[in-house]
Amino acid sequence: MRKWPSFAFAVFSVLMALLADLELMPLGHRYAPFIFAVLATAFFTGLWPSLLATSLAVVAANYFDYFIDGQLRIDSDDIVQLAIFLSISISISFLTTKRRRAERSLAEANAELRALDRAKDQFIAMLSHELRAPMAVILGWAGVLRRERDPELTATAATAIETSARAQARLIDDLLDMSRLSLGKMHLEVSPVDLSSIATQAIDAIRPSADEKQIDLRVTAASEPCMVFGDALRLNQICWNLLANAVKFTPEHGHVCMNVAASDGKARLIVTDDGDGITKELQPHIFEPLRQARSAEKGGLGLGLAIVKQLVQMHRGSIAVESDGAGKGSRFTVQLPLAS
């Protein structure tokens, strides 16, 4: 219940209890109706309204007659009853509030578990589809090679099979990397590395995919080396994943840029694109595993950015994302400590 209706309910409960008390007073059950009033208030509202009901009940039970005809009902025998009533009422208020909080926490945990269960089912379905697609291509072209001996057709089949096999291998590598990271079994081979050189290698590796969509892909870096301590293979993986993600969600004839710079003792790797962008609701969750960034129909398992974040953190760095919303592009910024 809202704040003011909750306190109004507390006052109403005490008034009802007072009416019942006037009927039960000759029987010596002065506090019984007020205990039920406190219990109902605690059950339906919360802690503070129930404490208000307790305070009003004390006043109503002991001073109502005084307000009417100047006679005070409380005497020395009533002090014990008052103490018992206060202890019971306050205990009811706190225990009921704890129960309500526990119920809310349990409901939130159950909702989260259901969401995780749905995400797991979606991931398994997506994984099956992503692994089946390249396998279907490989099997299809293998059947063609068994029937045909044309050299040109053989070259086309070999290219298609190799491309599909590489795609499937990358999916499996992502699964293995995510497993290693989750279990804490990923180890880095650290040495001084030129981040600019790593970025250039990643650009060269992703360029065929960009050229296929006629995307303007470029890298800008300072003329001097940008040295960091890190694992060259994993740093290349970070750059490649960010670039692949940008190319995937950038339409044809779009632009993707990677910038490498150093300032204030940090190396900065910035990847910008003018693609699909990221909604405000998704931005806080973009680095969570199994989150399909902006459109699940574009393929992938949704693990790339989660792997990137954990690899960046293993290099004692940080990563952030900026986007003005859907259709307005995105900007990923990685910061790593410079090698001193």
Phi first, then psi: what are they for 162, rounded to 5°?
A: -65, -45
pTM listed for this prediction: 0.62
**Amino acid, single-letter form, for residue 281:** E
Task: Decide if pLDDT at 11 tops 60.
Answer: yes
Tell me the C-alpha distance between 31 and 291, whole Å: 57
Q: Is residue 79 very low, low, confident or very high in pLDDT (cuts 50, 70, 90)?
A: low
Q: What digits encode the pLDDT tens for the residues 31-61?
A: 767 777 787 777 777 777 777 777 777 777 6
Q: Is residue 235 very low, low, confident or very high in pLDDT (cuts 50, 70, 90)?
A: very high
Tell me the C-alpha distance between 19 and 166, whole Å: 81
Strands 255-263 and 227-230: unpaired
Name all domains of the chain by residue range, CATH numbers in brackets.
Answer: 3-107 (no CATH), 118-183 (1.10.287.130), 191-337 (3.30.565.10)
Mean pLDDT computed over 247-275? 92
Question: Which residues pair with residue 261 across a beta bridge?
Answer: 268
Q: What digits encode the pLDDT tens for the residues 294-328?
A: 444 555 677 888 899 999 999 999 999 999 888 88
Task: Decide if pLDDT at 62 tops 80.
Answer: no
Structure tokens at 47: 């802690």
Structure tokens at 9: 């309910």
The three-class DSSP label of residue 260 is strand
Task: Decide if pLDDT at 27 tops 50.
Answer: no
- φ/ψ region of 10 (left if φ > 0, alpha if ψ in -120 to 50, else beta) reads alpha
Q: Is residue 25 very low, low, confident or very high in pLDDT (cuts 50, 70, 90)?
A: low
Tell me the C-alpha distance between 79 and 99, whole Å: 30
**Amino acid, single-letter form, for residue 174:** D
